[in-house]
Amino acid sequence: MNCSRCHAADTKVIESRDAAGGESIRRRRMCNECQHRFTTYERVERPQLIVIKNDDVRELFSREKLLSGLYRACEKTPVTSLQLEKLVSDVEQELYDCGDAEVSTAKIGKLVMQELAELNEVAYVRFASVYRRFKDIASFEQELSDIRKRKTEPVKV
């Protein structure tokens, strides 16, 4: 890392500490040529995720958008915003781990629903009804009985 003042290549790290709750590292550096001190941040590089919607329209993945949908589904349930933040972070991580630059809303919905089913049944059903757009009451009831069955069976991974 070159000095930000004299551009000499000879700089050293004099202090490192976690920043943004461990999401990045802040380093104080000093130039061995001119003694100038400056700060750098190091963070994990995350490629931008593209979401393919049902109508084939593409848009950037938005954590906020997903969260607001979840807040709506969890209204008047005991699910806390902390739980939802964690759920979205887990889903986000899983999407990044897949390594695909583009993901379908169906895939995101599936991941979210898996996690939501563990948290709260009412929230799950509300979210699922938006995501899957149940055509009739029969498919809705099918979904409900599926969750109840899943809850009594050991989780398959």
Cα end-to-end distance, the chain, whole Å:
44
Nearest distance in Å: CB 27, Zn ion: 16
Q: CB-hemisphere CA count at 13 Å for 87?
A: 29
Q: Which amino acid is at 68?
A: S
52 binds Zn ion (CB under 5 A): no
Options 4-12, 14-22, 61-69, 98-106: segment touching Zn ion (CB under 5 A): 4-12
Residue 34 is a binding residue for Zn ion (CB under 5 A): yes
Nearer to Zn ion, 5 or 151 (CB): 5
Using a 10 angstrom Cβ sphere, with 0-12 exposed, 13-18 middle and 19 or more buried, the burial of residue 31 is buried
Nearer to Zn ion, 4 or 77 (CB): 4
Q: Which is nearer to Zn ion, 29 or 126 (CB)?
A: 29
